[in-house]
Structure formats: structure tokens, C-alpha cells
Structure 1
Amino acid sequence: MEITTAEFFHNFRQELLVGAEAKGSFQLFEFMETVANELVETGVTEGFEICHFRAQRGIRVDGYWFDDEGVLDLFIADFESRNELKSLTKTDVDAAFKRVVNFFEASINKGLAAELEITSPEYGLARQITDRKGAIRRLRFTLFSERLLSERINELSDSEVAGITASYQIWDISRLHRQRSSRNHKEPLDLDFEQMFGSGISCLPAHLGAEAYQSYLIVMPAEVLASLYEKFGARLLEQNVRTFLQARGNVNKGIRATILNEPGMFFAYNNGITATAQEVETKMTDAGLAITRIIDLQIVNGGQTTASLFHTLRRDKADLSHIFVQMKLSVIDSQDSESVVPRISEYANTQNRVNAADFFSNHPFHVRMEGFSRRLWAPAQEGAQRETKWFYERARGQYADAQSKLSPSEQRRFKAEHPKSQMFTKTDLAKFENVWDDHPRWVNLGAQKNFAQFAKRIGREWEKSPEFFSEFYFKRAVARALIFRSAERIVSSQHWYNGGYRANVVVYTLAIIGEILKEKNKSINYMAIWGTQKVPVILEEIIAIIAQSVHMDIMSPPQGISNISEWCKKEQCWINLKEKKKLFLESIPIRFFDDFISTIEETELSRTAKKSQKMDDGIEAQRRVLNVGPDRWNLALSKLQEKGKITLKEKSVLNVAMQIPNKIPSEKQSIVLISLLERADMKLEVEE
């Protein structure tokens, strides 16, 4: 049931109040982080750092992010925790952007950093702006507002600020509502080629008949592609491709060499781009059919080609005027995009094994975590009568989708069973896990980069031992979520906390506690935390003690480093903290360790869970295999023989499958059969 913007506003306000109370943070901070997380998830910005500062002379900033491509995002809030939905006028918008522009100009031209407290986040930002003066090539000013933007404001033109191109965007309550309500949970790009480039892009239809889905072959000018990437960046890339680039980060040397040395051969050497769109508009010109408009262009293969064209143009001043890129464009209805687009991406990227690194939403790991989250009831907390569930969002917007068709009374019941405070996403899970698994620096790099590293690591571990990701793993992840969120609340309430660098303090505090426990051959009793749905008082006391020491340490970086946030992203910061582990250990009373279990006990719990999961996997594999007809096993055998990708032992297993139901494959054989179908590029068609 679709709700109005006014209803969304009131729901969103309650969400903020609950979130701020749970984390012990200011409502303003919760508002900024909630909206920023939406933008990070959909690629509008790569990351977000909170930095609230205002001065009497019309200067304000509430957050920022420097990306690796010379773009600086500066965020400003319009938030007063209003009770009613109000209108955001042009005057309000101009005044807000003026304040954040003033902050940038004062930082880059007027030495603002010299006036600020050296340990404050605003000093770090102002100083970083000064230090990166020559490297900032584009500014993006973004206003987050809890109000409803006036319909009189249609478009905000680019300008120049301190000689740098600047763009402006507003995320008001209605835009956030549209974002969360859209089927693919991403605001689609609307690309009008005639308006942007003066003409359409020549194309050749690659579909026949009205019933077939539309597809086109395009010879895309490299200048156009680089221009689109310049303007929209990662928003052009389908999520798994975005993750792929985050995990690698370097410009492809071979592509760069061709651009610079053999531009005329680029079309011949390059594999081209695979893309999808929700909608395409074409018109007939003297030169033939041309695409004039594309809605929701997503590059699902060729992200590295696109990024390399842009970077080589910017860094090497390359001439792209004689370079063209072949593009295969498929038009996929928005209703099918969630299931079809990832499959196109997966098949298009098999050559580079991107799927192992990118971790599609439909990867078995995420499907299994989702299954646990829908099945397992978390024990009721002390004093509560009702058990609840932790809702894992393996795909964006699942939590909202699950409620969209419910009646008001059904929605209340759903929220009682799945409290919003117990919803967590893939990027949340990556954060909770990497903190404890000796990778805290990744978490400080931002949600997308951290998830990219998590995806690579878990992808490898899944290939090696999928049964490791058991019910125990899920319950441990929930316990880690409880600890992480408890640490956020604890840090926020400390007398020494001044409002900055909480994320960095929390991450390194938990990582150091993990190191100390290893030293003592101890482990947190995650199953006890799952059982009580509460972090033990002793652990909370340890968090408070270590957090103060970590805060003091990171606030005193080595000489020559002025930005605390940037220092926390460096490997050396983590190395330095680990070297002081014994000092941190001395601050913890020895009696505190009595409440922890031994690492041997935790290993045994994990081993038992793996055995149980392996048995469950075998039973599930057998169930799925028995639903596949003999004809498909015959086809799989033919395909694998043609490719020369089958051993005699595997062929004998397939022979058993071809005799179902007269012969029944064992659980172990069933696992082999599923992998053989995948190797034959055949989907497991199961009649549920």
C-alpha cells in the first residue's frame, strides 16, 4: 500500500528518533548519516564523514567526502526535527548553499583552518581542503532537507567556486520517499543525448518483433562515455561492477596504453561494454536510427573501460576524439530489473570472474544469510514477552518491500516482529565482520570500499568452505552487530567525546579488544549475547576504557599529519595501535576476562555448526537435484563433453542423475551435480 509523502515524513521522523536514542547520538547526526547511507548504497556518493560546524559569519558544513578522482562532496543539513512537514523555498535553498560555499571559500582562500581547534573534525576538513587545493577538480554541494522542496525549483545550474566547477543537488523528503519507494530502489538517471551533446547516438536494433525485449548495438564515442562518467561517476555502474572497481581501484594499464599509443585500434582491441536501461527513446535521422534518450543507464560490464577512458583523459590529457566503444544495450523493464540485470552482469563478466569478487545480491552467501534472518527468532530481551527477528537486506529496499502490500495492522505486526533497529544491510554486515577479523582499516575507508574487500574475502572463503557460513555464523554476526551499536552509544556518552571521529574510535576500539582477547586465548561468548540480545556489562566497561585510550592515540598522529580521519585510513595507524596493545591491556582489570570463553570453546562451537551446515547443504542439494528432469542432465552432459570440461568420475555421477527416479544421487553426489550444471552454464530450474 503506497503511502503519501506526509505519512513517509512522520514514519521517517520516528525512525530517526529511535535511531538517535539507540546510538546515543544527536538527531542531526542520525539524520545526516541516514540520508547519506541511502546515497552511498546507490552510488550517488562514495562515502560520508560527519563534520558539523557553523560560524556566525554565515559559514556551515555538516559532512564531506573526498573521492579518489578529485571530487569533493560537501553536505549541509536543513534539519530542526520539525513535527510537521513544511515547504522548502528557493530562499531557504540559496541561503543553505551560500553557507556551505562560504565554508569552502574560507578554507581554500582565507586560511580558516588556522582559526579552528586543531583536534576538531572541521579543522581536519578545512586543512585537507587547503592541502588538496590543486587536486580538487570538481565540487558537489548537497543539501539534505527534512522539508518538501517547492515545485517552483526545477533545476540548479552549475557554477564556479574558487575557480572550480561546482554542482548542486537537493535531497528533500519527497526525493528520499521516491528513492525508497522505487522498484529498483535507485533514482534512475534520465539521459537526454540531444540536450546534453546536441544529437542522438547512432544505433542498430538487435531485436525482432514486438514480443522480444528491445536491444541495440551502439558505437559509442569515447568522449561521450567519459563525459557521462565525469558527470555521474559510479551512478552509471551497476552495483556489482561498482564493487569490482572499488576492490581494484587502478586504471587498466593495457586500456590506457591503447588510448595513448594506438587510439585507432581501440575499437578492435577492446571487448566493449554491456549495459541495460529501463527505457530508450529513438528517432530516425538522415544517418539512420539514433537513440535520443536513455532512462536508467547501467553499465553491467565494461566499468573498467569507462573509468579508464575518463582517467586517461583527465590525467594524461588524452585525445578521445578518434576513439569509439562498442556497446550492447538491453532494455529491461523495471519490474524485472532486480532479477534480470544481475544475471546479465554475471554472464557478461564471467571472462574476468567478476562475480566471485563482486558478490551479487543473489550469491549463495547472501541468500543463506537472508534465509537465517527470516527463519530464526531472536530470544526475547529481559523483561520483554515477545521474540523478534533480525532482518537481513540482501537487496536494497527489501525491508520496505516486505511492508508495502500490508494493511496498517499487518504493518504494525511486521514491525513488532522485525524492529527497524534490527534491520541490517550487506554493507552493515561487512562492517561488523571486518572490525573483528583484523581488517579495521578497511572499515575506515568507507562503506563501499570496505564492502568490496569483504566481498573478495568471503567469496574466497565460500569457495573453500561454504559450510562455515552456518547458523552459528549468523548468530555471531548479530552479536557483533549488538556490540558495534552498543560501542557507538558508549562512545557518544563519554565525557571526553567532542562529537568527532566516533566511527574511527568505535572501529579501532573493537579491533583492539579483539587483539587483546587473542593474546589471552579468549573469545567473546557470542552465543550468550545472542541468547540475551544484550551486551554484557563487563564488555561495555572494557569498551569505555579502551575507547578513551584509542581516542587519545588517534588524536595525536605522527608529525606532519593534520587530518585525523585520513590518518585513521592508513595501515600505519592500525600498526601503531597494535604495537600499544600491552599498554591497553594493562588498563583492563584481570577479573574482567573471567566472563569470556576460551578460543578452544569457540572453535568447537564453530566446528559443530559447520558439520550441521554441511549436512543441511547436502539435504538441500539432494532436494533440488531430484526436481531436475533427466533431459536436462542429458543436456548438461552434452555441453560439458563439447567443452571438454568433464572427468570420468563426474560423468558417472551424471549417469546416476539421468536415471532419476530409478536411481537416487547421494547428498555428496547432489552437491557435485549442482556444480556441474553451473559449469555447463545452465540454471538449476526447480519446481518449488
Structure 2
Amino acid sequence: MDGLEEFHQQFQTDIMGTATSEGALQEESFFELVGDMLNEAGEIDTPSWSRHEGEWKRRRKEDAKTLTKSIAVTGYSIGTENEDSTLSLILVDFRYSDTVRSMGVADIKILFGKLVEFLRAARSEEFRDAIEETSDGAILCDLIWRKWSQIEKIKLIIATTASTTTKADAYSAGEVDGKSVTYNVWDLKRLRKYVEQGQAREDLVIDLEKDFGGSIPILKAFGGDAALESYLAVINGDQLANIYNKWGARLLESNVRSFLQARGNVNRGIRDTIVKEPHMFLPYNNGITATADAVTISKTDDGLVLSSVENLQIVNGGQTTASLHAAMKTASEQLKNVYVQMKLNIVPKEVAEDVVPKISEYANTQNKVNAADFFSNHPFHIRMEEFSRKIYAPAGENGFQDTKWFYERARGQYADARGNKTPAERKKFDGTYPRSGFFTKTDLAKYENSFRCEPHIVSLGAQKNFANFAKSIGTRWGKDGVSFDETWYKRLVSKAIVFRATEKLVSAAAETWYEGGYRANIVTYGIAKVVSDVTEMNKAIDLDRVWRLQRNLASLEAALDIACCEAQEVILNPVAGMRHIGEWAKKEACWKALKERELEYPEEFLDALVDPEYVRSVAQEARADSDLTKDLIGESWVIEVGADFWQDVLNWGANKKALSPMDDRVLSICAAIPSKIPSAHQAKTALRCLEKLKGLGYTHMALEAGE
């Protein structure tokens, strides 16, 4: 079985399993999964489900002949990280098959034809009047009609579980009413690359010579022993804006994309310079820092020129790039006189995961970007990853063995860890890390912000919610993130258990109160409502018990059923003047409307709540136990490393005149081991002194061997 066939089977199994457990359509589960990938890759903004399929009668202008056309759409996205300017229409094609399906160019054209016809129908007043006004299709048509004057670009996206021969990726397809249209295909091969490698941009080859006005002068800026190839260049503002116009936020490294989403709109200072002093842009602006997989550089009589770039990622200067793009509308002539300096680093794919975030972080330091914006390598993420690899979850009431949850800090970790094993090893891995315990950083942000009573933020979509969470972690982390300990991690898993159980609860309520649709919003709102009400009672949900049982509590489930039913009522009935339900759910006013409603919860739920002080005391005791363990390990190491080591530390520190009288006395005791044994307090002092000296440059083989 080849890799694509194996991925196809696992991918289908995951989608169908999710659909079954959540009571959703397989097509809907596929859309949610692909929508998150497209959002994370920068292809689209927040995706929304809006399925419509049927026919419409279109009258041709040239001969007034009526044609019957098939139309279809599964969902949409409208907007970019800064402004509502791009409309993306998405059509998914999920069909179960025992083997990998093949799809030719003609089949893809048929699917794109259905999307194009839906767009035409949406702009037809006759069609809008005929369609059922409360249907998803009618609401989407109304949105397109109202936003049409703001829309500048249209993306048509096909996502399919078939393998295709087409390479349509930002492929130009002409214009509709002066708005450029592009085709994009995400087939099984491309989905596999993204899931397993985080590679969504295999076709992002920027041909400057052919498509963007010509090559640009470039200067080699690395020596023979340099770890990475580096270049310096100056690119015309009009060129950079047009490159961004085609590829959009996919040019921005994911951390920079999150940074822009978390901040405001186009920078006014940059805009004013473009409009009023374009010739001064180069002196005033810091330029951009970028990475690439590969470049094509030619030698001319005037020096080196850059003619093409493969997988360009802007790691610093996203605001500059977006501002130049925005100026295309109002200052296109001035852009031709704008020049931007660019530092370009060639980063091999095998080291990109570690190197690119660091380049991004260090390059953005001058702009006071919080370290949490560079989140994959933030200490918070690394700590959560470490916890997930070492902490066993209890087997629970119905389990047979303890298992671990798998936290995927960076895209592809789970596939890598599972894929590089023999069948026997993979079976063991699956037993330790069941697929049901897999979660990503955007999942984590969704769970946390739901329990922090921010359902309107969660409803903004995976990436915008994640950016909000990143900002809060930057504030809450402090010096060493001491509060984010093992207890915090266990309670995070408990929140994941509650969240996923609530998803199933809502789907199962189709026979009672659930009307279908907007389940994601209902779930986060329902959880936030229960947490908010419990907090108002000065009580807390017993998440520690959820961890021990590895399941949701029956009493909590009863309360969530009530809250989610009420959440649906609020979400499906927007305030006057706001027709689109998905947009209403993103508003703080929607959360306020639910929060202010009074609900009556079952007695068994109220009886199962715990005192907040008890919750705090459990965390404090666990932290004290952990500190005690660390102290004991530290004391043991101080003795085990021996007298010779401490004598060397003492001599080095004395030579550097870096020891206080107290340091000297304690290190002298340690240097006399075993005739003298340092007390627990003295061992701590010795370790603190050692850390100080290490900061001054002290090294020793014993440190490399075991500290």
C-alpha cells in the first residue's frame, strides 16, 4: 500500500468517525476539517457552512434564450486579515471509496462551473426572490448582494478526496464585474502534504520575470561558512503589491498572519508615506524580512538578479506588505515610485520548522511583537507538548489501560510520530496515543476561550481566536509561566473532554431541540453560559473529577443541554438589522444577550459544584509536591556530582570575584563532600550560585552529563 492510499483510508475513517460521533453529515465534517486547513494556511479567512445545491434558469443577454444551469456551494469566507475584500466560495466533494478516486480536468471544470453559476445566481434579483428566504443559500446570496461593492477579488475553491491531475492554485480565471476570479483545487495529494508536512504552498512559485514586471537586482550577503544563504534586494512597491494581490495572506508566515489578525487595520503612517512621499519610502521604512525554499538567480552585466522565488514567506513586514496592497486602490501611480528593501534567507525544508519561527521572532523584536505571537516555539507550547508526552491519563471507568493525549505543537507531528514505525510499533503507538486524544494548538485555544467565557471570540474562527489566545498567554505567562503546570494541563484536557462531549450532546439533541446548523457556535456559547453562571454562584466545575473519570459528568451534561438549547435560541434570532446568523454569533452583543438570561439548572448539577478555594488549594498542593520533588532531585544531584566538581566551581567563582561570603561558605561545604553534607537550604544556595556562574560563562563536563 503506497503512502497516498494509506492516507486516503485514514483520512476517510477520521471524517466518517467524526461525523458518526457528532451526528453530522460526512460532507459537513469534511468541510470543517478542510476549512480549518484553508484558514490556517492563509488561503481564506473564517470559513462558514452554507450549503446549497439545485438549478436555476439563466437568461442569456445576447439572444434572451433561457438556460437551465446546475449550481452548488458548500460554504464561503468573506474578508481578509484587514478588510472585507475577498469572497471565497467553497465546494467540497466527499465520496467514500475503497481506493483512491481519480478526477480529471473535465470533472474539475464541472465543479467549478457549479460555483460560477451560483455566483451568477446570487447576483440575480429574480433568483434571490425565488429561493426560500430562510435557507442557507438565500442568506449567502443576500450577503453577496449586500457586500458586492466591497468585494475586490473572488476565489473559487474545490476541496475533494479524489486525486487530480490539475495544478490549479491561484489560477486566473478572468473577471466578474471587474473583480478578478481565481481557481484553487485542494485534492487528496495536497491535503496529504498539508496534514503530514504542513506544506500548503507547493505551487507557490513566484516568477518575477514572467508575471510581475521583471527580475530585481540582488546582492549576495553570506560567506562560505554561513549556515544559510542570505541575500539583500530592493523590490518595487508595485511589484510587491501585485504579488500579494495574487497570493494574499499565504505569503505571510503563520505567526505574522496571526499578528496582523490580532492588530488593527492598515498602518496610517505607511499609507501617508506612499501617498505623499513615495520617494522617501525606502529611507523611512525598515523593509521586509523573508524566507524561501529556493530561488533562481542569474548573472547579468549589471550584476546578480532574482528572477523567481519558491515558497516565499514574509516573516517580518506583513503590515508593510498589506499596506502596499491596500494602496493599489487609491495610490497606484505612487506605488511605482516606492521601493522596499528585502532581506531574503534560503531555508531548507528540513530545518524550516525550527529556523523560520526564530527568524520571525528576532526580526520582529524591533516592533515589540509579543513572544506569544511566535507561538509554535513559545515556551508555553513546548511545555504543553512535554506534558502530553509524559503524563498518562487515567483509564477511567470503562478503560483497559492508561493512555496519553497527543498535543500537536506544530503541524505534522502526529503523522511523523506514527508514520516512522513498523506495523507492530504503530499498533503500540495507537494504544498509547489514541486518535481520540489528539488535539492542536487551535483546538487548545478554542477550549480555553470557551471556558474563559469568550464564545464570540471563538466564533471568529480558529486563527483569529488563536491570535486572541496568544495575546493573553503573553500577558499571563510572566517570568516562567509557573501557573501553567501539570495541574493546568490536566484541567485543559478536562475542558477538551467537556467540549467534545458537548458537541455530541448538541448533535444528539436533533430529536428534541436542536434545529441543525451553527453547532460550533452553540457549543462554545453553551459552555461559556454554564461557566459564567457557575462563577456568579461563586462555585466551580469539578474539572479534576472529569480528569480522573476521563469523561464528562452526567450532572454537567444536563446543565449543558439546558444552556445549549438557550444558546441556540439567542443565536438563531439576531437583533434587528442583522440577518446573517454567523455574523451575529461573532458579536459581543450576542454573548451579552445569552449571558443576561436566567436559567434553572438541575439540583444534581448544583450539588456537584465545588468551592473555588478547593480548586485553588488542589493546584497549590500539586505545585508544592512538584517543587518538593524538584528540590529532592536537586539535593541529590548536588551530592552525586561530588567534591571535585564543587571545588572547581569554587575556584572559578573566586577567580572571577563573583562569590559572596555566603556563596564561598556553602561551596566550601559542598567541596568537602562526603565528610560534610550540605543541608537542603545550602543545596539550594549552591544551585543558585551555580546558575549565576553559568550565566557568567562557567562550563563543566558534569553539566553536560546530567544537570
Give the drift of 1:169.
Answer: 0.8
CA distance in 2, matches of 1:108, 1:651: 79
Give the drift of 1:304.
Answer: 1.3
CA distance in 2, matches of 1:614, 1:251: 47
Match of 2:439 in 1: 424
Give the drift of 1:611.
Answer: 3.8
Match of 1:191 in 2: 206
Match of 1:179 in 2: 194
CA distance in 1, matches of 2:661, 2:267: 43
Match of 1:551 in 2: 568
Give the drift of 1:500.
Answer: 1.6
Match of 1:54 in 2: 53
Within the alignment, does 1:604 sit opposite 2:621 as a pair?
Answer: no
CA contact (8 A) 1:505 1:547 kept: yes
Equivalent position to 1:134, from 146, 149, 160: 149
- Cα deviation 1:117-156 (Å, max 9, x = unaligned): 5544333322211111100111111101111113698994
CA contact (8 A) 2:487 2:619 kept: yes
CA shift in 2, pair 1:375/1:322, >3 Å: same
Is the deviation greater in 311-320 or in 407-416? 311-320
What is the identity, as a one-letter code, of the residue corresponding to 2:566? S
Paired residues for 1:46-445 under 5 Å: 46-57=45-56, 58-68=70-80, 69=83, 70-110=85-125, 112-150=127-165, 156-182=171-197, 187=202, 189-209=204-224, 212-314=227-329, 319-445=334-460
Equivalent position to 1:534, from 547, 551, 558: 551
Is the deviation greater in 141-150 or in 184-193? 184-193
Is the deviation greater in 361-370 or in 381-390? 381-390
What is the DSSP-based 3-state SS (H/G/I as helix, E as strand, rest coil) of the residue aligned with 2:51? Answer: strand
What is the identity, as a one-letter code, of the residue corresponding to 2:553? P
Match of 1:593 in 2: 606
CA contact (8 A) 2:89 2:157 kept: yes
CA contact (8 A) 2:170 2:182 kept: no
CA distance in 2, matches of 1:430, 1:572: 21
Give the drift of 1:652.
Answer: 11
CA shift in 2, pair 1:299/1:493, >3 Å: same
CA contact (8 A) 2:39 2:46 kept: yes
CA distance in 2, matches of 1:620, 1:553: 54
Match of 1:644 in 2: none
> TM (normalized to structure 2)?
0.86
CA distance in 2, matches of 1:195, 1:243: 31
Give the drift of 1:29.
Answer: 0.9
Match of 2:67 in 1: none
CA contact (8 A) 1:259 1:318 kept: no
Give the drift of 1:404.
Answer: 2.5
What is the identity, as a one-letter code, of the residue corresponding to 1:9? H
CA distance in 2, matches of 1:676, 1:265: 49
CA distance in 2, matches of 1:481, 1:92: 40
CA distance in 2, matches of 1:657, 1:233: 61
CA distance in 2, matches of 1:351, 1:469: 28
CA distance in 2, matches of 1:508, 1:493: 17
CA contact (8 A) 2:658 2:693 kept: no
Match of 2:34 in 1: 35
Match of 1:21 in 2: 20
Match of 2:63 in 1: none
CA distance in 2, matches of 1:511, 1:267: 48
CA contact (8 A) 2:559 2:602 kept: no
CA distance in 2, matches of 1:284, 1:439: 56
CA shift in 2, pair 1:533/1:198, >3 Å: same
Give the drift of 1:78.
Answer: 1.3
Give the drift of 1:334.
Answer: 1.1
Gaps of 5+ in 1: 639-647
Match of 1:645 in 2: none
> TM (normalized to structure 1)?
0.89
Match of 1:506 in 2: 523
What is the DSSP-based 3-state SS (H/G/I as helix, E as strand, rest coil) of the residue aligned with 2:138? Answer: helix
CA contact (8 A) 2:570 2:593 kept: no
What is the identity, as a one-letter code, of the residue corresponding to 2:12? R
CA contact (8 A) 1:435 1:510 kept: yes
Give the drift of 1:669.
Answer: 9.0
CA contact (8 A) 1:312 1:318 kept: no
Match of 2:66 in 1: none
CA distance in 2, matches of 1:318, 1:79: 46
What is the identity, as a one-letter code, of the residue corresponding to 1:530? W
CA distance in 2, matches of 1:287, 1:256: 32
CA distance in 1, matches of 2:265, 2:696: 30
What is the DSSP-based 3-state SS (H/G/I as helix, E as strand, rest coil) of the residue aligned with 1:220? Answer: strand
Within the alignment, does 1:577 sit opposite 2:594 as a pair?
Answer: yes
CA distance in 2, matches of 1:678, 1:98: 65
What is the DSSP-based 3-state SS (H/G/I as helix, E as strand, rest coil) of the residue aligned with 2:76? Answer: strand
CA contact (8 A) 2:558 2:605 kept: no
Is the deviation greater in 166-175 or in 66-75? 66-75
CA distance in 1, matches of 2:282, 2:410: 35
Give the drift of 1:181.
Answer: 3.7
What is the DSSP-based 3-state SS (H/G/I as helix, E as strand, rest coil) of the residue aligned with 1:54? Answer: strand
CA distance in 2, matches of 1:653, 1:430: 46
CA shift in 2, pair 1:185/1:146, >3 Å: closer
CA distance in 2, matches of 1:679, 1:264: 48
Match of 2:62 in 1: none
Give the drift of 1:443.
Answer: 0.5
Is the deviation greater in 563-572 or in 609-618? 609-618
Within the alignment, does 1:477 sit opposite 2:477 as a pair?
Answer: no
What is the identity, as a one-letter code, of the residue corresponding to 1:594? D
- Cα deviation 1:419-475 (Å, max 9, x = unaligned): 222111111100000011122211111111111110010111001661110111111
CA contact (8 A) 1:379 1:533 kept: yes
Q: Percent identity?
A: 39
CA shift in 2, pair 1:227/1:88, >3 Å: same
Give the drift of 1:548.
Answer: 1.5
Give the drift of 1:385.
Answer: 1.0
CA distance in 1, matches of 2:667, 2:276: 55
CA shift in 2, pair 1:256/1:423, >3 Å: same
Give the drift of 1:483.
Answer: 1.1
CA shift in 2, pair 1:153/1:170, >3 Å: closer
CA shift in 2, pair 1:676/1:442, >3 Å: farther
CA distance in 2, matches of 1:288, 1:142: 41
Give the drift of 1:183.
Answer: 7.1
CA contact (8 A) 2:204 2:310 kept: yes
CA contact (8 A) 2:201 2:311 kept: no
- Cα deviation 1:570-599 (Å, max 9, x = unaligned): 11111122121x2xx23x233421122222
CA distance in 1, matches of 2:272, 2:663: 47
Match of 1:12 in 2: 11
What is the identity, as a one-letter code, of the residue corresponding to 1:499? G
Give the drift of 1:241.
Answer: 1.2
CA contact (8 A) 1:430 1:450 kept: yes
What is the identity, as a one-letter code, of the residue corresponding to 1:177? R
